């Protein structure tokens, strides 16, 4: 997309009503801007149907609960609002961003119990998250940062604060000519990319990090289901970095990333093989059913 996301035509759903895109603003003392009190969902619509829409809405509410932030809408209300946004913007294939956050209110310290929790929903056309890497295989850097322990922050929440090291890591990767970065977790195990889960293939079997300190992505769960439907053994386990040398194929999964093959992570290389293509094609078919 060219231009600023703040300067687009269309409508955004704000706290129960549609407003003009350029008027969807918040006050400078919005709590989330200062203390990262925000959770969100990224979703895709295909042919007018949002894939796993209700699961995303349920996770949004759970993320808010995990951050001690009760979201003032039900799953049904959020579901209706997302489709209202698609209709208002004339979109059928689109990316949908739902964000819930503590707004400006009576509190402006760390505590914010008296501040309203607000919800915005926007949608726009968005192509392949990794561009041509979707077909050729992404190149990943290895981040110097580690995914935190669940004793540090609720790692099962899709919380804005968890993404700051993702932004820094992706910037560093892009400076090296890479599409993204891979994280290890606080224990040194392979974790995830900046906005996607990771899968590896060896001898016809699939290996993916155990989601005990990372987000158990909805696309991740979907892909595991596709693999098991094909009687392909899936190992959800702790993976040491040096094991990547022996893996033959690799791909990333996420609502934005969909299923994206990986050709290189640091000094480790992978083929964009038949299983990667098969699962990518199966996912493309599934989301459009």
Last residue of a domain, one of 97, 124, 151: 124
Residue 15 in any domain: the answer is yes
The verdict on whether 158 is a catalytic residue reads yes
CB 155 within 8 A of CB 147: yes
Are 138 and 110 found together in one domain? no
Q: What is the pLDDT of residue 208?
A: 98
Are 101 and 139 found together in one domain? no
The CATH number of residue 179's host domain is 3.20.10.10
Q: What is the pLDDT of residue 136?
A: 81
Are 153 and 220 found together in one domain? yes
Q: What is the pLDDT of residue 129?
A: 78
Q: What is the pLDDT of residue 130?
A: 79
Residue 31 in any domain: the answer is yes
Residue 1 in any domain: the answer is no
The CATH number of residue 80's host domain is 3.30.470.10
Are 139 and 119 found together in one domain? no
Residues in the chain where the model's pLDDT stays below 50? none
Last residue of a domain, one of 124, 157, 178: 124
Q: What are phi and psi of 124, to 5 degrees?
A: -155, 165
As for how many domains the chain has, the answer is 2
Q: What is the pLDDT of residue 1?
A: 56
Are 146 and 279 found together in one domain? yes
Are 119 and 178 found together in one domain? no
Are 16 and 88 found together in one domain? yes
Are 214 and 114 found together in one domain? no
* Tokens, residue 9: 């035509």
Are 105 and 56 found together in one domain? yes
pTM of the shown model = 0.95
Are 116 and 140 found together in one domain? no
Instruction: Give the dihedral of Cα atoms 125, 131, 134, 137; nearest 10 deg.
Output: -160
Are 138 and 192 found together in one domain? yes
Residue 4 in any domain: the answer is no
Residue 3 in any domain: the answer is no
Q: What is the pLDDT of residue 3?
A: 87
Q: What is the pLDDT of residue 21?
A: 98
Are 118 and 260 found together in one domain? no
Last residue of a domain, one of 101, 124, 147: 124
Residue 205's domain spans which residues? 133-287
Please identify which of the residues 82, 134, 158, 170 carries the catalytic annotation. Answer: 158
Residue 95 in any domain: the answer is yes
Residue 137 in any domain: the answer is yes
String of DSSP letters for the chain: --S-TTS-SSEEEETTEEEEGGG----TT-HHHHH--EEEEEEEEETTEETTHHHHHHHHHHHHHHTT---SS-HHHHHHHHHHHHHHTT-SSEEEEEEEEE-SSS--SS--TTSPEEEEEEEE----TTTTHHHH-EEEEEEEEEEPPTTTS-TTS-BGGGGHHHHHHHHHHHHTT-SEEEEEETTS-EEEESSSEEEEEETTEEEEE-SSSS---HHHHHHHHHHHHTT--EEEE---GGGGGG--EEEEEETTTEEEEEEEETTEE----HHHHHHHHHHHHHHT-
Residue 205 in any domain: the answer is yes
């Amino acid at each position: 997309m060219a231009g600023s996301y703040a300067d687009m035509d269309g409508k955004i759903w704000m706290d129960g009503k549609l407003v003009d895109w350029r008027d969807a603003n918040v006050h400078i003392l919005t709590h989330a801007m200062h203390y990262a009190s925000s959770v969100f969902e990224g979703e895709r619509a295909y042919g007018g149907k949002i894939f796993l829409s209700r699961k995303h809405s349920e996770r949004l509410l759970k993320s808010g609960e995990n951050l001690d932030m009760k979201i003032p809408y039900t799953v049904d209300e959020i579901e209706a609002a997302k489709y209202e946004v698609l209709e208002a913007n004339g979109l059928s294939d689109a990316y949908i961003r739902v964000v819930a956050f503590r707004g400006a209110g009576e509190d402006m310290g760390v505590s914010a119990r008296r501040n309203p929790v607000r919800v915005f929903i926007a949608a726009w056309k968005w192509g392949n998250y990794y561009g041509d890497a979707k077909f050729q295989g992404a190149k990943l850097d290895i981040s110097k940062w580690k995914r935190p322990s669940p004793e540090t922050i609720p790692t099962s929440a899709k919380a804005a604060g968890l993404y700051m090291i993702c932004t820094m890591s992706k910037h560093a990767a892009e400076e090296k000519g890479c599409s993204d970065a891979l994280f290890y977790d606080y224990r040194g195990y392979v974790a995830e990319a900046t906005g996607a889960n990771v899968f590896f293939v060896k001898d016809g079997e699939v290996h993916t990090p155990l989601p005990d300190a990372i987000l158990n992505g909805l696309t991740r769960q979907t892909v595991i289901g596709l693999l098991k439907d094909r009687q392909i053994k899936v190992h959800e386990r702790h993976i040491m970095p040096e094991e990547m040398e022996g893996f033959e194929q690799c791909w990333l999964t996420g609502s934005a990333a969909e299923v994206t093959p990986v050709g290189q992570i640091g000094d480790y290389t992978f083929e964009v093989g038949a299983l990667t293509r098969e699962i990518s094609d199966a996912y493309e078919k599934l989301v459009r059913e």
